[in-house]
A = this chain, B = another copy of it.
């Protein structure tokens, strides 16, 4: 082991030396490593105009590409390094893939995120002057990884639970609960990792904008659609504002089933009872909300509307009610909207949101609800597509409306 240690130290010193030599690279002066990079990785880098610089050491590759919605071909230099500079990217979190000789995978220079039915690269592009999803000097809640046995699925299921900052201090207080679901291709990790929901909640609670609440993030299924080996990367997020999303996208489907098991049944019969038994919850319907993004939004609509004895707050982010334009709102979802006054009394918040670059008719849907007398709250995330910044902003708008 001692010999190995010496080797490592020498390598480190040598690497440090190399870094010094590279400081002459003009890109280093105008850009800095993305916050999503692996520790110490110098690339990918971002400049003040949100251009990303990629640099990949693959001397034996025939072709190197980056897919961040749009596919970029990298150019090989004499030193075996392939490089490319992207056009300015939209702020927020974007999935991307590195493609070598046609094989797409997670770039080892970045952190990986479970996003397309498997682990993929992500790059966080800073948003100027915005800090609601950043850690601040406020009391912090915790995200707990918990396990419960599902007799329906016949296996242990992992479930993440955010407890608010005062949960461990006010040891007799009970809290309302928001069930918050991921999209297709993602899993129960999405909201606390890509979504930074813990910082969003910490900050809202600290500012008195949201009530302290428990947030439960369970696995809603739909995360195994990508089992075929792929040779092209998923287009999770268009790299350019307004670009059209292409192909199957994270969060772009129904996926009620997880390994042949119905998530709605698990949530109602197992997850909620587990949470109410193991956390200090307020367990009546007036203190229970559900929201989700994309597939999770569709699940939310389907589950809450069929269980209005259990939920009083509903949020669909980039995924909401599904019916044809000429359907009669009175008739859809088993007639739950037929008596608008009764619905509005029961459902305290009915919230639908979308990214403006998604090109979806969510505003029109919300307007149709309003015309039918349903109190629909609409939020549009400016300039963002079917991606996490849309959903961070949606949560930041939705959570303050809850339990008031």
Contacts and interface: CB of A to CB of B under 8 A. Distances in A.
A98 B108 contact: no
Interface string A140-180: 10111111110000001000010000001001100000000
Contact of A145 (B18, B148, B198, B247): B198
Q: So how many copies of this chain end up in the complex?
A: 2
Interface string A31-73: 0000000111110000000000000111111110000000000
B147 A8 contact: no
Contact of A4 (B140, B227, B252): B252
Contact of A118 (B103, B109, B149, B223): B109
A100 interface: yes
A293 interface: no
Interface string A224-246: 11111111000000000000010
Given A4-B252, A118-B109, A227-B42, A58 B15 contact: no
Contacts of A227: 15, 38-42
Contacts of A149: 135, 137
A278 interface: yes
Interface in A110-145: 111-112, 117-120, 135, 137, 140, 142-145
A27 interface: no
Interface string A311-331: 000000000001000000000
22 contacts: A2-B322, A4-B247, A7-B248, A8-B184, A8-B225, A15-B228, A38-B226, A40-B117, A40-B225, A41-B227, A56-B229, A57-B103, A57-B228, A60-B62, A61-B100, A81-B229, A100-B100, A105-B105, A108-B118, A108-B230, A147-B198, A171-B171
A29 interface: no
Interface residues of A, number: 83
A223 B40 CA distance: 8
A104 to B, nearest CB: 7
Query: Which 3 pairs, one residue from A and one from B, show the smallest C-beta to C-beta distance?
Result: A40-B224, A57-B229, A40-B227
Interface in A76-94: 81
Contacts of A30: none
A104 B9 CA distance: 22
A102 interface: yes
Nearest to A202: B147
A119 B148 CA distance: 27
B252 A1 contact: yes
A373 interface: no
A112 B106 contact: yes
A339 interface: no
B119 A38 contact: yes
Contact of A225 (B12, B224, B248, B278): B12
A192 B1 contact: no
A288 interface: no
B192 A145 contact: yes
A18 B229 CA distance: 12
A56 to B, nearest CB: 7
B135 A140 contact: no
B39 A117 contact: yes
A249 interface: yes
B4 A103 contact: no
A140 B109 CA distance: 35
A21 interface: no
